Every structure is written in structure tokens, then in C-alpha cells.
Amino acid sequence: MTLPFKRSALTLLAASLAGALLGNTAQAEGKISIAQQFGIGYLILDVVRDQQLIEKHGKAQGLDIKVDWNSISGATAMNEALLTGSLDVVSAGVPPMLTVWDRTKGKQNVKAIASLGSMPNYLLTNNPNVKTLKDFSDKDRIAVPAAGVGFQSRTLQIETAKEFGNDHYKEFDDISVSLPHPDATAALIAGGSEINAHFSSPPFQYQALQNPNVHKVLSSYDVLGGQATFNVLYTTEKFHDENPKTYKAFYDALVEAEKIIKADKPAAAQAYIRVEQSKLPLALVEKIVTDPEIDFTVVPQRTFIYAEKLQELGVLKNKADSWKDYFFEEAHGGAGS
């Protein structure tokens, strides 16, 4: 159950370092390099890719756009590649985007482009003794894509602060292990390894829950108080400002992909399997795509909760006044939060 990498994280990091050494020039209009991670949280991008929507919207502006697609795991590698110019657009959870927005404010000025949808992430375990966060011990190991810094870890930190107090928000960092979702899912289902918990995401959490030994401890929706954005796309101010036609084509492609998914969810499920070369049963993917908890939308939802809480915990230095502070203006028209 391993999804294919077009490039490994290691290759991307090597490319990043090379870019830093050679010096980066402005990206010419008509080219865009995009990276996504694994899971159905990237369905909007899968549909964009499947239907060649960036190319379509580029041609509407008289532009032939060359799109370079990449797949890697973990926000750390994403951010490194973005900041050294190896990638134009990257994708990760809301907290990693906020971290790089915070660190580049007044410099590269990284901001979000759009949401990729709202969906719950489940903290799962095959340890029958663990029913709540308080049941985890130092013998347990929780797999996450980017330990300490990724969406899952930051969500866990916010809930931990709620349960144990702000001073203890990193309580579970020591038992967290960085592992891509496909590998963590395989370990959880197989059992017998040190990985006995996984802060997962769709479709992996649904696949894991088909195993009777696996159960849910927590949902990200529990932490955030309802439906909330999982992944976002983000880029630098430089790319946004110097490539207006390419950026517009990309944003318009995302908006169209949302409409396509909502108009025909079974067809979107087929697109996911096609683009990701997934071995998951079509019926399972359709079930996930039609899950009422999930909304494939470019409009951000409840992202400001992360901005407020992470600033309160000292993770972010800069205080955002609203969600519009860390999203480019093209996204401001929707009823975001």
C-alpha cells in the first residue's frame, strides 16, 4: 500500500541545496512546480492534474503553462524546497504553513493560496489500553509525517495544552516518530512494531479502522470545535507577484476542481485512484469522498484557531489579526475563517 514518489524528499532537499548555491532567478511566467503529500486530502490537486486544469486556464490567458508535479512526505522538506526556490508551490497542514509565514514575514513573505478542503484527522492506536490521551505512556510510539512540527503534531500539541496546561504542550513530542502515512498505516495494521499509534489522515485512517485491532482516540475536529481545513497550498510573495497570469491560472484551476468534485464525487474518486495509482478499492474511496464530515473546498475553515493558539504557546512570534493576514488576496472573497 505504498504510493509512488516522483521524487524522494532526499532528492528534493539535494535540489534545494543546489538551488541555494547557484542562486535563484525569478521564475518565468508559464512555469509552475507543485508538490503534494499523500492522501485524499490532495484530491483537489489530483483533479487539477487529471483534467489538466492549469494548462486549460493558462490557455484562456494565452499562456502555455508547463506544470511540474512532485510528491514528497512531510512539511519540513516542503518548506526547505520552497524557501530555496526548488519548488514554487507546496502543500501541507495549516500549522506548517503558519510556521513558515511567521518566519518569513518581512522577508520572503510566504502566504497561503487556498485551502484543499476540510477533513478530520484521527489519532489511532492498536493498543487496547489507550482510550484517551492520558493513557499514552513513554512505551508508546505515535507516527506522524513530521514530528513536532506537522499538522498532526501541532494539533496534538493544542489538545495536550488543553488537557495538561500550556507548559506541557510538547508532552507527546518525545514519543512521536516521523513516518509517511502509507508506512505508518502498514505498521499499525500489521502490529508487532514499536509504532502502535498513528495520527492519520484520509484515506489511511479509514483503511486502518477496517482492522478490528485499531480504534480511534481523537479527531482533529474534536480539537478545533468542528469542520476545519486540513491542508493548504502556499507560496512566496515573489512567485505570487512576478507570475500573475500563472498564479491566476493555478487559482482558477483549484476553484474549478472544487466544482468538479462536488458535481460528481464518484468520478472524483476514480480520478484519485488514477492519478495516485492507488490500490485502494474504489468503493472505499467513494465512501471517503462522500463522507459528510469532509468538504473539498478552497475556502479556509477554522484556520485562525491555529494562528491564535500557536501564537499563545510561543510557536509563532507574529500575531495575526485575521486569517486574511496569511492568505493571498485572491482567497479573501470567500467566507473564510
Does residue 22 register a pLDDT over 70?
no
Residue 45: name the closest of 303, 317, 257, 245 by CA: 257
Residues paired with 33 in a beta bridge:
68
pLDDT at 75: 77
Lowest mean pLDDT among 5-14, 113-122, 157-166, 226-235: 5-14
162 SS3 class:
helix
- Give me the pLDDT at residue 203, please: 87
Give this prediction's pTM: 0.86
3-state secondary structure of 167: helix
Please provide residue 92's backbone torsions phi and psi, each rounded to the nearest 5 degrees.
-165, 180
Query: In this model, does residue 20 exceed pLDDT 70?
Result: no
Q: How far apart are CA 101 and CA 107, in angstroms?
A: 10
Residue 8 clears pLDDT 60, i.e. is over it: no
Nearest Cα to Cα of residue 300 among 132, 102, 116? 116
- Alpha-carbon distance of 47 to 258, in angstroms, equals 9
Span 49-60, pLDDT tens digits: 999 999 999 999
CA 41 – CA 34 distance, rounded (Å): 15
The pLDDT confidence band at residue 239, using thresholds 50, 70 and 90, is very high
Using pLDDT thresholds of 50, 70 and 90, give the confidence band for residue 28: low
What mean pLDDT is predicted for residues 58-65? 96
Provide mean pLDDT across the span 138-161: 94
Q: How many CB atoms lie within 10 A of CB 116?
A: 27
Q: Which three cell numbers stand for residue 81?
A: 524546497
pLDDT at residue number 26:
43
What's the mean pLDDT in 325-334?
94
Mean pLDDT of 130-141: 96
- Span 250-268, average pLDDT: 98
- On average, the pLDDT of the chain sits at 91
* Mean pLDDT across 53-71: 96
State pLDDT tens for residues 82-101.
Answer: 999 999 999 999 999 999 99
pLDDT of residue 16: 44
Q: What are phi and psi of 34, to 5 degrees?
A: -125, 140
Shortest CA distance to 95 belongs to which of 312, 309, 247, 332?
309
Average pLDDT on 31-59 reads 95
Would you give the DSSP letter of residue 169? T
